[in-house]
A and B are shown apart, each in its own frame.
Chain A
């Protein structure tokens, strides 16, 4: 397991400070975290605890103040960004699943998923083929030509998972992916994420408040006052 953890995403002493002087606020006060490829971990904590800040730092959307982040052998951040093109990093190595699916309303399901490989420079036909394979795996291939507005909430979330996976990123960040769903659908989404994590050797971090899905994680990171604490989860649904 220790060897696998080395290959996944690893965060050491990550700090984030907003503002300066007397009004400065330390949102992250030295976060440590490791997620192995194929593993899904939960990140839970009360409002204002720093979950979203951590997610934004992991997603290379905001710059941490200090610390170190590695993705496999590659150092992403070490007291400063070590990757010149963060946009390409987000496109190729990080997948995002949001609370709402945020599909592009003017693209059909296939192109919503195929857009990422297209942006990475892959030919349209190849990108669509990859998208359809994933849609098939996620059981929404029958809606491949539908527009996002024609899908149910669960279908939309599965399409957004397909979009997150399509470039085979080593890490996926899921921000409250089950918030708008009922228990059954929420568990189904988590089951899919777990399955995909194993199938594609992807490390998945799920930020959630959702009590009904917390028991499904084998490992959970609690975040309080900008610090994380690791706990063993029940891993109930996937045994």
Chain B
């Protein structure tokens, strides 16, 4: 038996191809939306991978440092180093802000790290150019996505930094590229006030009799000095010794240091299950709407094409064509349209994904799922047209 659907598609291929291209662009958008979600998840995982940590020690009762603000004293890491199973521990700060370079500025996550060699928690894992930060001030390593180049000078708050190294795929959970600077500078940048605010704070402190006692010389100076520094960090990143289970190392820190400690699994759950959950739902809604729109378009097109063939269908029924042959023809056409649409959509998504400002990760699994989804949608969409075709009276082929 010949393929009636195939012959019809070949006969009016222009109509099918153009319709398929239109549908394909819609499918391309759908695949891209799924890619945006996958990109967000991947960004979150990359963020955790690149931190090089096995444990995240943060302020008690917080989900920090990525999902909630967390504040710890910057000397906590010393006591953590002494805990059983801890190999290395390092302070870290995170701050998302605009970084200026000449006349332009870039949205970036400023990461304050303790200058040291590669492998230290928090350090960029690898560089594509230049070197790691070795000085305690005014050096920076930037992700290439910032557009900064080696040797360029960038401005963070009032200070300027020389870009000494470039790295890649170092992004925040929001997809902003990272700029690594020395920890001390980052701590200063987090709470740096303008000169007027500093002068006003000093006046207020001096005017407070509790801090400016005539009989206690040096108290005011000590208070003012404490106000001008920031002894806080956002988290301590911990690497455990080989052979130790992170959860077993975390438990004594929680118990004795009264701090919150998250393992890699827990941190991933926070990032994916909480931090990007709303965005994921938003994308999910888009996917549902796009699927409905795609189904409606396929249904409308196949229904219109079927109505255009009512007389031929009546003749086919009159000469003894089975209902399932006619239904099969319509369904195959819908699936053919879906196939054209999927191929066009996949190609379109592959081409335009790199242009997106945030990372779009097109996974094979999503593509296969999309392929199956398109086929299911097309099959369902053809039901309306099949119903119309099966209702056609073969007597319509006979005049009178």
- Interface residues of A, Cβ cutoff 8 Å to B: 51-53, 55-56, 59, 61-62, 87-92, 96, 98-99, 102, 104-107, 111, 115-116, 118-120, 124, 147, 163, 175-176
Q: How far is the CA of A106 from the CA of B8 in the complex (A)?
A: 5
Note all chain B residues with C-beta closer than 8 A to A61.
318, 393-395, 398
Indicate whether B207 reaches chain A with its CB closer than 8 angstroms.
no
Which residue of B has the minimal Cβ distance to A114? B2
CB-CB under 8 A from A120, the residues of chain B are 320
Across the interface, A104 reaches (CB within 8 A) one of B316, B394, B395, B399, namely: B316
Size class of the B contact interface (CB-based, 8 Å): 20 to 34
Residues of chain B within 8 A (CB-CB) of A92 are 320
Other-chain residue from B1, B393, B394, B399 in contact with A175 (beta carbon distance below 8 A): B399
A106 and B9 alpha carbons, distance in the complex (Å): 8
Contact between B318 and A111, CB atoms less than 8 A apart: no
Q: Which of A96, A107, A111 contacts B319 (CB 8 A)?
A: A96
| Interface bits B302-344 vs A (CB < 8 Å: 1, else 0) | 0000000001100111111110010000000000000000000
> In the complex, are the beta carbons of A124 and B398 less than 8 A apart?
no
Q: 6 A-B residue contacts at CB 8 Å?
A: A55-B400, A87-B320, A99-B399, A104-B316, A116-B320, A119-B319
| Separation of A165 and B128 alpha carbons in the complex (Å) | 78
Instruction: Write out, one digit per residue, whether chain B residues 370-400 have a CB within 8 A of any chain A CB (1) or not (0).
Output: 0000000000000000000000011101111
Binding site for A on B (CB under 8 A): 1-2, 4, 7-8, 10-12, 311-312, 315-322, 325, 393-395, 397-400
Known contacts A105-B11, A119-B1, A119-B320: A52-B399 contact under CB 8 Å: yes
Q: B399 contacts A176, CB within 8 Å?
A: yes
Shortest CB-to-CB span from B389 to chain A, Å, is 14
> Which partner residue on chain A sits nearest B313 by CB separation?
A104
Task: Collect the chain B residues with CB atoms within 8 Å of residue A99's CB.
Answer: 399
- Contacts A107-B4, A119-B322 known; 10 new A-B pairs at CB < 8 A: A52-B400, A56-B398, A61-B394, A90-B394, A91-B320, A98-B398, A102-B311, A105-B11, A147-B11, A175-B398
- Chain B residue with Cβ nearest A90: B320
> B399 and A91: CB pair below 8 A?
no
Residues of chain A within 8 A of B399, CB atoms compared:
52, 98-99, 175-176
CB neighbours of A55 from chain B (8 A): 398, 400
How far is B7's CA from A115's CA once the two chains are assembled, in angstroms? 12
Are B322 and A106 in touch, CB under 8 angstroms?
no
- Cβ-defined contact, A124 with B1, below 8 A: yes
Chain A: CB-nearest residue to B1? A118
Say whether A59 contacts B400, CB under 8 Å.
Answer: no
Contact B325 A119 (CB under 8 A): yes
B324 to chain A, nearest CB (A): 11
**A interface secondary structure, majority:** helix
* Nearest-CB residue, chain B, relative to A48: B400
Q: Which 3 A-B pairs have the closest CB atoms?
A: A52-B400, A91-B320, A106-B11
Cα A124 to Cα B398 with chains together (Å) = 28
B400 A124 Cβ-Cβ under 8 A:
no
Contacts of A175 in B (CB 8 A): 398-400
B397–A102 touching, CB < 8 Å: yes
B318 touches A96 (CB 8 A): yes
Complex CA–CA separation, A120 to B322 (angstroms): 10
Q: Are A102 and B2 in contact (CB under 8 A)?
A: no
- Rounded to whole angstroms, the CA-CA distance of A99 and B397 in the bound complex is 9
Let me know if A51 and B400 touch, CB within 8 A: yes
- A99, B398: Cα distance in complex, Å: 8
Are B315 and A104 neighbours in the complex by a CB distance under 8 Å?
Answer: yes
B398 and A111 contacting across the interface, CB-CB below 8 Å: no
Nearest A residue to B8 by beta-carbon distance?
A106
A85 to B312, CA, bound (A): 21
Expressed in whole angstroms, the Cα–Cα distance for A161 and B322 within the complex equals 22
Tell me, in angstroms, the Cα distance from A61 to B395 when the chains sit together.
Answer: 6
Contact present for A102 and B312 (CB under 8 Å): yes
Cα–Cα distance between A56 and B317 once the two chains are bound (Å)? 13
Q: How far is B396's CA from A102's CA once the two chains are assembled, in angstroms?
A: 11
